[in-house]
């Protein structure tokens, strides 16, 4: 926390000095500074005893006011170079980096979690860029930044794919409607390496029409943990976004993954699907609903330690209102039904059902 505050003050100090010094006017043209603050209060109807909600990354805390995500950023955009440095804090940050590998004295979650993104890129062709560093994960239709999503909390499928990646990526713009990415990564949501292998990821995005966009993402890599046997993982993500009109908008996603078993030559598979509809009431008010299903019976990606694994249905509905151009109030009601009793309830109980109500005030600049 102290490191975050020091870097936060440093970022604003640099911004202030740039504004005051006329000799660096060109830098201010190429660089921009901003930030985001997402505060929330969530009430879980199961009332977990330690206020900690399970099987989620946001909202994590029950019956308390807290910060989901806060960050400050500096962005560089020049003709042949680009980059972003974003420093962050919040419950979702702590939750997402809790499994970050610690190998040696220079790795682990405490060092890694302060960076949301930290990459530098250079242009190597008329339509081609290469970036290196830490960047947000590309899989899925929803962002870590809640204001950019149609519903406040992320879908189940998004909770269990990388929020962030570390490596190098090649991005090529085929034409004005199509783009392609090729990534070389340390692994599945890891900054610190936990084995001797590397992973690859790809993305293809096509704005087929002004109203319809198709996106395909994938991941292939060895998720071996040091001293254990190989666990090769493959993951495929399909996104169909249809903005039918100003009044009705739709997103459908389908994901499938499979991973080699540790004990034999078998393969464990899982899949998830979600459908989201959004209906803007006017320029400031929006309602949305999402239905989804996640099936990981072999616990290849989500471990429950129960007979039927992670098999969950969820329905969410949300209401958003822009208070100002850069301020938003969001409310969401969401419920879950699990095949097994996986959700903490009260002091020591478990429940197949789980639900919560969350309200959020956020601002950006």
Mean pLDDT of the region 196-212? 95
40, 68 in Cβ contact below 8 A? yes
Please tell me the distance from the alpha carbon of residue 75 to that of residue 72, in angstroms, as a whole number.
Answer: 10
Average predicted confidence (pLDDT) for the chain: 90
Can you tell me which residue has the tokens 């660089």?
A: 31
For the record, the structure tokens of 178 come out as: 């199509």
Mean pLDDT of the region 93-100? 91
pTM recorded for the entire structure: 0.89
**Residue 225: predicted pLDDT:** 59
Checking if the pLDDT of 147 tops 60, the result is yes
Q: Residue 258 forms beta bridges with which residues?
A: 234, 269
**Residue 99: predicted pLDDT:** 85
**Residue 27: predicted pLDDT:** 56
For the record, the structure tokens of 85 come out as: 């440095």
Q: What percent of the chain has pLDDT over 70?
A: 89
Least confident of 15-24, 25-34, 338-347: 15-24
Q: How confident is the model at residue 17 (pLDDT cuts 50, 70, 90)?
A: very low
The residues near 5 (Cβ < 8 Å, ≥ 6 apart) are none
Mean pLDDT of the region 114-138? 96
Please tell me the distance from the alpha carbon of residue 276 to that of residue 151, in angstroms, as a whole number.
Answer: 9
Q: In the chain, which ranges are continuous DSSP H helix?
A: 2-20, 25-30, 91-96, 109-112, 156-159
Mean pLDDT of the region 45-56? 94
Mean pLDDT of the region 60-68? 97
Question: DSSP secondary-structure letter at 323?
Answer: E
Please tell me the distance from the alpha carbon of residue 224 to that of residue 344, in angstroms, as a whole number.
Answer: 30
320, 285 in Cβ contact below 8 A? yes
Please tell me the distance from the alpha carbon of residue 121 to that of residue 119, in angstroms, as a whole number.
Answer: 7
More confident residue, 17 or 156: 156
Q: What 3-state DSSP class applies to 75?
A: strand
The residues near 184 (Cβ < 8 Å, ≥ 6 apart) are 167, 168, 169, 198, 199, 200
User: Residues 231, 234, 239, CA angle at the centre, nearest 5°?
Assistant: 150
**Residue 173: predicted pLDDT:** 97
Q: How confident is the model at residue 264 (pLDDT cuts 50, 70, 90)?
A: low
Checking if the pLDDT of 2 tops 60, the result is no
230, 213 in Cβ contact below 8 A? no
More confident residue, 38 or 4: 38
**Residue 13: predicted pLDDT:** 43
151: left (phi over 0), alpha (psi -120 to 50) or beta: beta
Mean pLDDT of the region 265-284? 93
Residue in 148, 217, 151 with CA at minimum distance from that of residue 185: 217
Least confident of 12-21, 46-55, 343-352, 356-365: 12-21
Mean pLDDT of the region 20-32? 63
More confident residue, 240 or 224: 240
The residues near 73 (Cβ < 8 Å, ≥ 6 apart) are 33, 34, 35, 84, 85, 86, 87, 116, 117
Q: How confident is the model at residue 105 (pLDDT cuts 50, 70, 90)?
A: confident
Please tell me the distance from the alpha carbon of residue 250 to that of residue 243, in angstroms, as a whole number.
Answer: 6
């Amino acid at each position: 926390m102290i490191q975050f505050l020091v870097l936060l003050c440093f970022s604003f100090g640099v911004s202030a000095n740039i504004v005051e010094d006329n000799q660096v006017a060109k830098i201010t043209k190429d660089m921009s500074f901003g930030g985001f603050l997402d505060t929330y209060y969530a009430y879980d109807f199961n009332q977990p005893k330690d206020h900690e909600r399970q099987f989620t990354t946001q909202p994590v805390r029950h019956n308390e006011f807290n910060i989901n995500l806060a960050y400050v950023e500096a962005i560089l955009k020049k003709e042949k170079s680009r980059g972003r440095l974003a420093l962050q804090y919040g419950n979702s940050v702590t939750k997402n980096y809790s499994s970050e590998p610690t190998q040696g004295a220079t790795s682990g979650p405490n060092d890694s979690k302060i960076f949301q993104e930290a990459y530098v890129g250079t242009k190597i062709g008329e339509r081609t860029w290469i970036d290196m560093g830490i960047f947000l994960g590309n899989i899925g239709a929803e962002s870590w930044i809640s204001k950019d999503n149609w519903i406040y909390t992320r879908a189940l499928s998004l909770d269990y794919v990388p929020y962030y990646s570390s490596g190098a990526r090649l991005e090529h713009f085929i034409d004005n409607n199509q783009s392609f990415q090729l990534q070389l990564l340390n692994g599945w949501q890891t900054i610190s390496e936990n084995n001797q292998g590397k992973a690859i990821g790809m993305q293809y995005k096509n704005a087929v029409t002004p109203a319809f966009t198709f996106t395909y993402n994938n991941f292939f890599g060895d998720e071996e943990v040091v001293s254990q046997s190989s666990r090769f993982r493959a993951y495929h993500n399909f996104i169909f976004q249809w903005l039918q009109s100003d009044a009705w908008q739709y997103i459908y996603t389908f994901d499938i993954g499979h991973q080699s078993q540790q004990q034999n030559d078998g393969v464990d598979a899982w899949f998830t699907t979600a459908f989201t509809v959004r209906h803007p009431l006017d320029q400031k008010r929006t309602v949305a609903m999402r239905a989804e299903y996640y099936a990981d019976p072999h616990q290849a990606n989500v471990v429950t330690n129960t007979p039927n694994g992670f098999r969950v249905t969820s329905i969410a509905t949300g209401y958003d209102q822009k208070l100002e151009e850069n301020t938003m109030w969001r409310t969401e009601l969401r419920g879950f039904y699990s095949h097994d009793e996986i959700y903490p309830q009260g002091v020591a109980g478990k429940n197949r059902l789980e639900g919560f109500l969350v309200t959020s005030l956020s601002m950006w600049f």
